[in-house]
Amino acid sequence: MEQAVGESGIVNGNISQNCSEFQSYSWRNILRRSELNVQFMLLTRRNAECAQFINDGNDIENSNFNGSLPTKIIMHGFRLTGSKPSWIDDMAKELINAMDVNVVIVDWIVGATALYSSAVDNLDNLGEEVGTLIQSLIIHGSTRESFHLIGISLGAHVAGYVGHAFEGKLGRITGLDPAGPKFSKKAVDRRLDPGDAVFVEAIHSDSDYFGISQPVGHIDFYLNDGKDQPGCTRRSISSVYKHVVCDHMRAVHLYISSIKNHCPLAAFPCLSYELFINGQCVGCQYLSLRHCPRIGLLDHAGLRATIQPREIKAFLLTSNHAPFCVKHFLVELILGEIGTRNQRVEMTFLSNNYKQRSKLRLLITNKRIMKKVISHDAILENMTVVNIKLLSTWRQKAPVIHIEMLRITELPLNDRETQSRCINNMEINEVLFQELVNC
């Protein structure tokens, strides 16, 4: 999106200045990483293709900054190679397309590169510099409530430091997979927490490696189990690092997609992923909530502004590709006679054209009623048929299973009037292919 340093940029209709750019990688910079060398770059609809430096008051005066507009501040995290984050331009572009805003990109590549421990040590000073910038922007017409800090990994905790310095009066903080190493056991004043802004949200996608596992916001979104993301697979030892980065960065790419696309990324408040996936959190009436919180730019994640939940976990399933949104369904089984031993069943639900399918594997035990939440990638299509197969072993054939009722219902249950689809009185001895009908 930005041109190289030294190329002329068209600002306010005139060729007036050079386009600012991220600092270039060099070992000299890495060796000087104790010196932050922070740069602040501004993008607006008036200079969407040519960032302007706003490193001091004079820069702000001579820029397109508009204090009457909201301001989004983007802060990257640790950088192993010292390269500019590849997602920065896309995020800035989508924010500007979605809203008339000031977008400020924080370049702290020098202080963020090479050693993770050194990058962590730099966060206090970085937070002070970002806070000084915000004070300058307030002098130029902004209000504290108009700021939205978007921090990725370590950048999420920097947002927390800044918000803490402003006594939690900044408008919003979005933490995208906030960093876990060196922060999981920190006190709340040393990491992101709900007291750092009027509204704090976090999206967790790699909570077992680079991301933090505990909730750190008013609403904490956990993608799938918050750990392993669809499409991020380990095929070899050499790809383990790429796998982990894939999980860690899924929060970033999903958030960008939520700004660009209009399909809903709604989540279900629940105490744990296990309870959610086992069908115990199928609505959104949790504590004072009345609606499912949504990832994106909606104020307070689509909740009422008067609601002040803290550290509420909300779970959602996603697909393995943009725009990542799926439909959620509750599958309910009422079983008849099932025999004396555990049996495994594979259910494949197919959409109208039979091309989109969702699979569910169940271990049938002595429980008469079973519930599971599944996802369906085809947003505009309904599930119409189900293929049920008993999974027997070469040693022993599975006995017949009698299903009194199979019911599938789109979620959430309390947000809409949804017609369930059912099959009644089935006996499965090997494979059954049957149409779902309205209950």
Q: What percent of the chain has pLDDT over 90?
A: 56
- Residue range 13-33: average pLDDT? 65
pLDDT of residue 398: 61
Catalytic entry in 204, 243, 248, 253: 248
pLDDT of residue 289: 75
pLDDT of residue 436: 83
- Residue range 239-260: average pLDDT? 86
Cβ-contact 78, 112 below 8 angstroms: yes
Alpha carbon distance 25, 23 (integer Å): 7
Mean of all residue pLDDT scores within the chain: 86
pLDDT of residue 427: 79
**pLDDT greater than 50 at residue 241:** yes
Judge whether 351 counts as a catalytic residue: no
Query: What are the angstrom distances between the C-alpha of 315 and each of 219, 340, 390?
Result: 10, 35, 30
Alpha carbon distance 104, 106 (integer Å): 6
Among 134-148, 287-301, 382-396, the minimum mean pLDDT is found in 382-396
Catalytic entry in 177, 220, 228, 377: 177
Q: What percent of the chain has pLDDT over 70?
A: 84
Judge whether 248 counts as a catalytic residue: yes
Among 412-416, 425-429, 431-435, the minimum mean pLDDT is found in 412-416
pLDDT of residue 7: 40
Alpha carbon distance 274, 265 (integer Å): 20
**pLDDT greater than 50 at residue 88:** yes
Taking phi first (over 0 means left), then psi (-120 to 50 degrees means alpha), and beta for anything else, what does residue 6 get? left
- Residue range 413-422: average pLDDT? 74
pLDDT of residue 331: 92
The CATH number for 327-438, chosen from 2.60.60.20, 3.10.150.10, 3.40.630.30, 2.40.110.10, is: 2.60.60.20
Select from 386, 430, 429, 381 the least CA-distant residue to 405. 386
Alpha helices in 227-358 (DSSP H): 240-260, 273-277
The CATH number for 8-316, chosen from 3.40.640.10, 3.40.50.1820, 3.20.20.140, 3.90.226.10, is: 3.40.50.1820
**pLDDT greater than 70 at residue 76:** yes
Select from 302, 274, 273 the least CA-distant residue to 289. 302
**pLDDT greater than 50 at residue 4:** no
Judge whether 177 counts as a catalytic residue: yes
Task: Tell which wins on pLDDT, 354 or 10.
Answer: 354
pLDDT of residue 11: 41
The packing angle between helices 88-98 and 240-260, to 10°, is 10
Catalytic entry in 20, 153, 207, 258: 153
pLDDT of residue 216: 97
DSSP assignment of 249-281 = HHHHHHHHHHHH--S--B-EE-S-HHHHHTTS-
pLDDT of residue 13: 41
Among 74-83, 126-135, 359-368, the minimum mean pLDDT is found in 359-368
Alpha carbon distance 37, 22 (integer Å): 11
Give the pairing of strands 39-43 and 52-53.
Answer: antiparallel
pLDDT of residue 362: 79
- Residue range 86-107: average pLDDT? 97
pLDDT of residue 213: 96
Task: Tell which wins on pLDDT, 148 or 263.
Answer: 148
Domain ranges of the chain: 8-316, 327-438
Cβ-contact 422, 404 below 8 angstroms: no
pLDDT of residue 183: 96
- Residue range 45-50: average pLDDT? 95
Read off the pLDDT of residues 214-239 as tens digits, 9 standing for 90 and up: 999 999 999 999 999 999 975 544 45
